[in-house]
Amino acid sequence: MYSKIIGTGSYLPAKTLTNFDLEKIVDTSHDWIVSRSGIVERHIAADNELTSDLALQASLKAIEAAGIGSDQIDLVVVATTTPDQVFPSTACILQDKLGIRNDCAAFDMQAVCGGFVYAMNTADLYIRSGQAKTALVVGAEVMSRIMDWNDRTTCVLFGDGAGAVVLQASESPGIVASKLHADGSHHGMLKAEGNIRGGVVQGDPFIKMEGQAVFKFAVKVLSSVVDEVLEENHLQGSDVDWLVPHQANIRIMEATAKKLGLSMDNVIVTVATHGNTSAASIPLALDTAVRDGRIKTGQNIILEAVGGGFTWGAVLIKW
């Protein structure tokens, strides 16, 4: 038994914030941001938009693409580091907004930017063990609410958004390997120490990051975890049709692709238009490449991410 992606969806809030807009807020420049990160603009949620609202829009598109009814979903996993509130989970709130009233488990996955690969790995295990048949797996974030808009070293990098996939039990291959890791000894390298209530952060909310240390760590662990899932399936970098990386930074993606011996022509890159949306960035990129026809049946697709914790992982999919 495998888990197969049968539908994808994504959502970006209407409001955009360009690098030129940021030049008016902090001492930065469009050229600096593009050269260091590849980001041109990011989307910012409206004041009354919660993570669950973004998640709902992405989920509705994924469910429509899958051609199922939401009442068929028996597992909802939401990867987020910016939940609507301390509890209940954003997954339960999303379940309610989707009107899912059948027997269905729902929970959040907190692995920051690594959240979507953690959520995919977990949903896959539920499906392969027979505990779920149809899972909605979502990455959704309002990173703008944990930004210090006076800190140019972080506020230029992040954005808001959501992406979703519907995973269903299948006899033909879908997810063929996935691997997760964490190393909590680095928890101070990238952190936000506040809490969220009603979509508003309480306490010291802001992201703090040792940018260069994060960069080096990310490149090292991403290529090695991709190698792990490839080796498990006796594949090499040259067998990968599409790498769909966490969209943190174009330079991290380029360095990882280089270490894997992959051309950037085989990497799905959407960071320019939405910045680092943490757990939402992989399903946003995946949905883009599915809808524009780059991702096709039979291809080998790799999802990979690293995030605060540190957490990291990769998922190999036979599409």
We find the least distance from the C-beta atom of residue 85 to ligand ACO, in angstroms, to be: 24
Measured from the CB atom, is 194 or 211 closer to ligand ACO?
Answer: 211
Radius of gyration of the chain (CA): 18
Of the candidate residues 94, 98, 113, 280, the single one contacting ligand ACO (CB under 6 A): 113
| 152 interacts with ligand ACO by CB under 6 A | yes
Measured from the CB atom, is 56 or 225 closer to ligand ACO?
Answer: 225
| 248 interacts with ligand ACO by CB under 6 A | yes
C-alpha 273/C-alpha 42 separation (Å) is: 6
Of the candidate residues 50, 190, 226, 290, the single one contacting ligand ACO (CB under 6 A): 190
| 211 interacts with ligand ACO by CB under 6 A | yes
**Residues annotated as part of the active site:** 113, 246, 276
| 32 interacts with ligand ACO by CB under 6 A | yes
We find the least distance from the C-beta atom of residue 46 to ligand ACO, in angstroms, to be: 24
| 215 interacts with ligand ACO by CB under 6 A | yes
| 218 interacts with ligand ACO by CB under 6 A | yes
| 28 interacts with ligand ACO by CB under 6 A | yes
| 306 interacts with ligand ACO by CB under 6 A | yes
We find the least distance from the C-beta atom of residue 210 to ligand ACO, in angstroms, to be: 8
C-alpha 49/C-alpha 160 separation (Å) is: 10
Of the candidate residues 7, 307, 309, 313, the single one contacting ligand ACO (CB under 6 A): 307
Identify which range of 134-142, 178-186, 209-217, 226-234 contacts ligand ACO by CB under 6 A. 209-217
| 256 interacts with ligand ACO by CB under 6 A | no
| 181 interacts with ligand ACO by CB under 6 A | no
Measured from the CB atom, is 81 or 168 closer to ligand ACO?
Answer: 81
3-state SS, one letter per residue, for the chain: CEEEEEEEEEECCCEEEEHHHHHCCCCCCHHHHHHHHCCCEEEECCCCCCHHHHHHHHHHHHHHHHCCCHHHCCEEEEECCCCCCCCCCHHHHHHHHCCCCCCCEEEEECCHHHHHHHHHHHHHHHHHCCCCCEEEEEEEEEHHHHCCCCCHHHHCCECEEEEEEEEEEECCCCEEEEEEEECHHHCCCEECCCEEECCEEECCCCCEECHHHHHHHHHHHHHHHHHHHHHHCCCCHHHCCEEEECCCCHHHHHHHHHHHCCCHHHECCCHHHHCECHHHHHHHHHHHHHHCCCCCCCCEEEEEEEECCCEEEEEEEEC
Tokens in use for 132? 């779920």
C-alpha 67/C-alpha 90 separation (Å) is: 24
Identify which range of 148-156, 172-180, 192-200, 227-235 contacts ligand ACO by CB under 6 A. 148-156
Of the candidate residues 137, 156, 257, 267, the single one contacting ligand ACO (CB under 6 A): 156
Task: Provide the binding-site residues for ligand ACO, judged by CB under 6 A.
Answer: 28, 32, 36-37, 113, 152-153, 156-157, 190, 209, 211-212, 214-215, 218, 246, 248-249, 252, 276, 306-307
